[in-house]
Structure 1
């Protein structure tokens, strides 16, 4: 009687990326953004998931932007997750289009090594929240606050200067890119006294600045001259939209002599580095300057799941069930 033999089943070799040294895998993941890693890369294989958790160097620089696909509240949760994975090694974070008071404080409590902070169009974060957070960033060298619908204050500038003695680059802009057409705009009717006080606070508390951007400020020659005198290392100055300056020829001449990279009030916005929301906005009728009010509560908390940014989450937003938010029980269906 012929003997029967069981068929030989050949095992499928693992994909080549699973056998890469973890340092190389970490270098690959570092090229991706935080959202791509948390939503996609960690589901490629258990190795990538493990490396993303065990190598905080992947998370030293976090870039996150609202793509109008994910709910802002989910982006906030993912941002916190990325900060946790950095294990205190975060040095640079760039947030565009979302954020809350609690989120910026969460970052500050876990990121004492931070050197660069950029917030663009983050309407849920007030300037007061930023100032409170920055007291935990003694190594901060770059601060960029773009299109935040809130009031910048003298006390806040003073606190930032005291808390961040290494600050070299500072940027403020309170207008959306889509509206930055200065050709048909006249001079402001409102006085620039408050903006001059802010400029004087910059001069008195941030003498180490090399770069300063004040797009749309109402400062006058008084404030500008204070900056030129108080910031002797300044080599780059952006005054686009600052139509109250250069009423005195000597101040303009001083700028031209001192500043290597000078952008004048009516220069084009080409090359503006910070992204903006180009969608229609009924609240976009305010003038330039740092004096308009915000439609937020006293704590800048807008993390309610149904009213964040006034958006309707049943129309156009995607909140996938399989988004990976790290915990101790993450499991793969196929492993």
Structure 2
């Protein structure tokens, strides 16, 4: 998709707020939440004033904090699908989200993958295991979880049907652990599985960095795409607010 005109970029914040608080069908069902320029902040979510939202997908928001995202998402008790890509989201924040969103069925948390040696952390996986027992679809691309964290997820999320562990290189995906996953879960994507269908840049880095280091907008793939926020869980990925930009703003 071609870049929006200069006027569109200048009025970007206003457009998003209009979509969030508008009474039209567009305002209630969908929202562009993918900002390669980092203009998205959690204030956009808290402006919504709706607790009926069922699907929230956010990508590449380097002005977002883990605490801010936690506070915003915890106000959406009917949420069934959450996707957070290249935005900071700690295990503690996920725990609060899991406790606040009991209907959550899909969680996608995408990070940059790193080669060994790298830091290990099961904070995210333990939060998921403890508070998201109803999950059916879990994607943890590039996460730092270990075998212990994966076993905790398998214990705490008995209804999993799809598990994506691509580039989770701390997981020793062999033997009993591998067998347990494939016996219980319909679709399993191991750490070394193909990333051809992954929509972001899946380059594996040599040095591990903090989960907060998401200021590089080159994470996005060349084929830019939109993420959405919806009340009914419908697919709004083809929605392009710039198609009707003038009608929305003027």
TM-score, length-scaled by structure 1: 0.57
Matched, 1:146 2:66: no
Counterpart of 2:125 in structure 1 is 199
Q: Any conservation in 2 of the 1:217–1:290 contact (CA below 8 Å)?
A: no
Shift of 1:165: 0.4
Matched, 1:117 2:56: yes
Q: Runs of 5+ in structure 1 lacking a partner? A: 1-64, 279-283, 296-321, 331-335
Q: Runs of 5+ in structure 2 lacking a partner? A: 216-244
Shift of 1:205: 0.3
Match of 2:12 among 38, 52, 75: 75
The 3 A distance-change label for structure 1 pair 78 and 277 is farther
CA radius of gyration, larger in: 1
Matched, 1:103 2:44: yes
Counterpart of 1:190 in structure 2 is 118
Q: Any conservation in 1 of the 2:20–2:44 contact (CA below 8 Å)?
A: no
The 3 A distance-change label for structure 1 pair 245 and 118 is same
2:47 aligns to what SS in structure 1? helix
Shift of 1:72: 4.6
Shift of 1:223: 0.1
Q: How do 1:256-295 and structure 2 match up within 5 A?
A: 256-272=182-198, 274=199, 276=200, 287=207, 291-293=211-213
Q: Any conservation in 2 of the 1:214–1:239 contact (CA below 8 Å)?
A: yes
Shift of 1:325: 5.3
Q: How do 1:1-335 and structure 2 match up within 5 A?
A: 67=3, 69-70=5-6, 72=9, 74-86=11-23, 90-97=28-35, 98-107=39-48, 110-148=49-87, 150=88, 152-175=89-112, 186=115, 188-192=116-120, 194=121, 196-246=122-172, 249-272=175-198, 274=199, 276=200, 287=207, 291-293=211-213, 323=246, 326=249
TM-align CA RMSD: 3.1
2:140 aligns to what SS in structure 1? strand
TM-score, length-scaled by structure 2: 0.75
Residues of 1 paired with 2:118 and 2:137: CA distance? 27
The 3 A distance-change label for structure 1 pair 231 and 72 is farther
